[in-house]
Amino acid sequence: MKKSLSVFTLVVLVSGLVALAAKKPAQTSEPMPDDVKAVIQNSCYGCHNSESRNEDGKKEIQFDKLDELSAIKKIHAYKEIGEALEKNEMPPKKFLERFPDKALSEENKKMLMDWSKKEAEALVKEM
């Protein structure tokens, strides 16, 4: 009786831990720095948030839900962000024609690129 009980306890414990590990969202090394947040808020957030009316932008990336992604998806998102910035694809040119003040300065572009690279690398190390 005692033995079967402890086996049962063990099974419950292990499956609980497995479920927890699978569900646990990936942790970033640090919360998003304020300067990064401010630039994203100005140049990206409007199209890339969970309530955006820009369906295509919303589908690609939601900055307010970034923390809820699994590590693998986050790494992918950071990589895409870096690439989009490097190729000057984001913010979209048409949008910048209408809202030139949303353009990224070289300095801010570099800051976002460095940040996304650093976050991706930190996540890779944690795996």
Binding footprint of ligand HEC on the chain (CB under 6 A) = 43-44, 46-48, 54, 56-57, 60-61, 80-81, 84-85, 89-92, 95, 104
b/e burial code for range 18-32 (CB count within 10 A of at least 16 → b) = eeeeeeeebebeeee
Nearest CB to ligand HEC, comparing residues 30 and 55: 55
Report the nearest approach of ligand HEC to the CB of residue 40 (Å): 6
Report the nearest approach of ligand HEC to the CB of residue 7 (Å): 49
CB 94 within 8 A of CB 18: no
Report the nearest approach of ligand HEC to the CB of residue 5 (Å): 52
Say how far apart CA 69 and CA 27 lie, in whole Å. Answer: 9
Locate tokens 């049962």: which residue? 8
Nearest CB to ligand HEC, comparing residues 9 and 121: 121
Taking residue 75's Cβ as centre, other Cβ atoms within 10 Å add up to 20
Nearest CB to ligand HEC, comparing residues 30 and 101: 101
Report the nearest approach of ligand HEC to the CB of residue 123 (Å): 16
Nearest CB to ligand HEC, comparing residues 81 and 120: 81
Locate tokens 């913010």: which residue? 91
